[in-house]
Structure 1
């Protein structure tokens, strides 16, 4: 029979969202045999590896391949939003702001596309498809299903806490520091294709009479050919998001 050892884990900040309430902000014992990789006990506590940015063991930074040893004191930190840490201690390279979004977050996908972000979404995605897309195309998974983030092939992902879509948008923008990258009229809200300026004469026959009369600037999706213009509905959405983003 293998001897049983013990290490001590402490999770910080929003990582406590994944723990049972009695475990919040406490040092937690972990009993083990052998020398497991440190990612395994972190996920045993219920914390997805995608939510972890920094691991410190006995005062030294380690990576996910570190093998746990008897008596280790482990501190686990989430993504730093306002503090830069050096590349030598990061667990993974910083991701590009490209997303794949699960079936429970359709409104979030639409809103992020409206703000110009590359978001793959279908309402019939299976979990295995999301995992494959994230791994093969280096996309960040956004999900309301924390279990999805335990998939080994996912490097970058985020469990969206908010329930309402407006708050979800603010949460994602803040989490990935995207405010400076907002670019309306960059993406089609229907298919995620890129939008391009188009001459009014090229789409004239597709427009309603009032649209022809009152608007001069038009965009067309390079994928699905959907036509966009800065009408009242777009103005209302932009005003809505401006209010959200400025508090």
Structure 2
């Protein structure tokens, strides 16, 4: 039975059981075990793994463990994913899915998705799976994903923006918050029948969702929503709400 020593970067240590943190893990593994199997058995999903070195040499997760030696496991580095840039949030991240849509990112969410269905969608349609469920992210069919450590939606959003370097590619309020489809611009004349008279008098910029027919405009909540979104998309020392200037209020017909 292979007896292998594994060590993990500091950012991966919190994913290990308490008793295994702070020192190399030395354990025997059954013949035929892969690096993926060993790393995930200790609590770290493959979506969180960057470079793996076996006695200093890079290896792929699907390779077989050696008979002995030392394995060093690094965490993933923040990077903008290759296209398609679209996210699938599991049932734990409903509020965060809405924030991603608010920032303009293609984001699927349905709290009725079963883990098996998420795996199929990820495999067949190449979604980036976001979850707080490590067992879900260990599924082999999920090639792109992230374990979200934060618990509060705005903190989760900041974590996702940092992990995937999303700040510079955000297009705030370019998607419907309900349907996730891109919004289409409307002229004031086209929007007139769908917005209250006071809105028609004050606003000239409108957009609509061609699925649910909601109409959006830069209304009274603009400043608050701009500040909230800018705080999630910008570094703490960035210029602030100006980054989110294109944001539109999520108004709708009859709102």
The alignment's TM-score, normalised by the length of structure 1, stands at: 0.89
CA shift, 1:25, in A, is: 3.0
Question: Residue in 1 aligned with 2:135?
Answer: 147
Match of 2:118 among 106, 130, 154: 130
Question: Alpha carbon RMSD of aligned pairs, Å?
Answer: 1.8
Match of 1:117 among 87, 95, 105: 105
User: 2:2·2:65 contact (CA, 8 Å) conserved in 1?
Assistant: no
CA distance in 1, matches of 2:227, 2:206: 19
Q: Residues 43-72 of structure 1, C-alpha deviation per residue, up to 9 Å, x if partnerless?
A: 111111111111111111111221111112
User: 1:194·1:223 contact (CA, 8 Å) conserved in 2?
Assistant: no
CA distance in 2, matches of 1:48, 1:221: 37
CA shift, 1:210, in A, is: 1.0
CA distance in 2, matches of 1:94, 1:243: 25
CA shift, 1:23, in A, is: 1.5
Residue 21 of structure 1 pairs with residue 10 of structure 2: no
Deviates more, 1:29-38 or 1:41-50: 29-38
CA distance in 2, matches of 1:37, 1:5: 11
Structure 2: segments with no counterpart, 5+ residues: 237-255
Match of 1:182 among 170, 184, 202: 170
Secondary structure at the aligned position of 2:11 is classed as helix
| CA pair 234-136 structure 1, distance change in 2 beyond 3 A | farther
Secondary structure at the aligned position of 1:13 is classed as coil
Match of 2:196 among 187, 208, 233: 208
Residue 50 of structure 1 pairs with residue 38 of structure 2: no
Structure 1: segments with no counterpart, 5+ residues: 85-92
Match of 2:69 among 69, 72, 88: 72
Residue 165 of structure 1 pairs with residue 153 of structure 2: yes
Aligned residues: 235
Secondary structure at the aligned position of 1:105 is classed as helix
The alignment's TM-score, normalised by the length of structure 2, stands at: 0.86
Question: Residue in 2 aligned with 1:61?
Answer: 58
CA distance in 2, matches of 1:231, 1:121: 27
CA shift, 1:191, in A, is: 1.1
User: 2:47·2:147 contact (CA, 8 Å) conserved in 1?
Assistant: no
Question: Residue in 1 aligned with 2:184?
Answer: 196
